[in-house]
Amino acid sequence: MQNAFEQLPPTEQLKDLQYDFETAIAKIDEWKKHILRTVNQARAKTDILDNLQSHQMLIIMDWAMKYLPNMFREKQSDWYRQKGKNWHVIVGIFKNENKDLKHRTFVHIMDSAKQDWYSVSSLLLHALTTIKQQLPEIKEVFLRSDNAGCYKCGQIWLVMNELSQQSGIAIRRYDYSEPQSGKSYCDAKIAHMRGKMQVYVLNGNNINTAKDMKTAMDYQHGVSGVQSSVVAIKNENLKFTSHKWKGITNFNNLEFLRMELKFGKPTILAVDAFLQE
Q: Walk me through the domains of the chain, giving residue ranges and CATH numbers.
A: 54-242 (3.30.420.10)
Neighbouring residues of 169: CB distance < 8 A, sequence distance ≥ 6? 128, 131, 132, 138, 139, 140, 141
Residue 235: pLDDT band by 50, 70, 90 thresholds?
Answer: confident
**For the ranges 54-58, 97-101, 134-138, 193-197, which has the lowest average pLDDT?**
97-101
Asked if pLDDT for residue 154 goes beyond 90, the answer is no
Span of 54-58, 158-162, 192-196 with lowest mean pLDDT? 158-162
Mean pLDDT of 208-219: 95
- pLDDT surpassing 80 at residue 215: yes
Asked if 42 and 181 touch (Cβ cutoff 8 Å), the reply is yes
Summarised one tens digit per residue, pLDDT across range 112-131 is 999 999 999 999 999 999 99
Residue 220 has pLDDT above 60, yes or no: yes
DSSP state of 85: B
80 pLDDT exceeds 50?
Answer: yes
pLDDT at 275: 39
Confidence of residue 2 (pLDDT cuts 50, 70, 90): low
DSSP state of 225: T
Q: How far apart are CA 263 and CA 254, in angstroms?
A: 5
Of the candidate ranges 83-97, 146-160, 193-207, the one whose mean pLDDT is the lowest: 146-160
The Cα 28–Cα 95 span in angstroms is 40
Q: In whole angstroms, what separates CA 11 from the centre of its chain? A: 50
Q: Which residue has the higher pLDDT, 266 or 190?
A: 190
Chain segment 23-39, per-residue pLDDT in tens: 888 999 988 888 888 88
pLDDT level of residue 170 (50, 70, 90 thresholds): very high
Q: Residue 271: phi, psi to the nearest 5?
A: -80, 130
Helix (H) or strand (E) holding 4: helix 2-7
Please compute the mean of the pLDDT values over residues 51-74 and round it to a whole number. Answer: 93
* pTM, to two decimals: 0.83
Answer yes or no: is pLDDT of 169 > 50: yes
Q: Residues near 139 by Cβ (< 8 Å), separated by ≥ 6?
A: 55, 56, 169, 170
The more confidently predicted of residues 251 and 111 is 111
pLDDT confidence tier of residue 163, bands split at 50, 70 and 90 = very high
pLDDT at 16 over 90: no
Max avg pLDDT among 12-26, 202-216, 242-256? 202-216
| pLDDT value at residue 7 | 66
The amino acid at 219 = Y
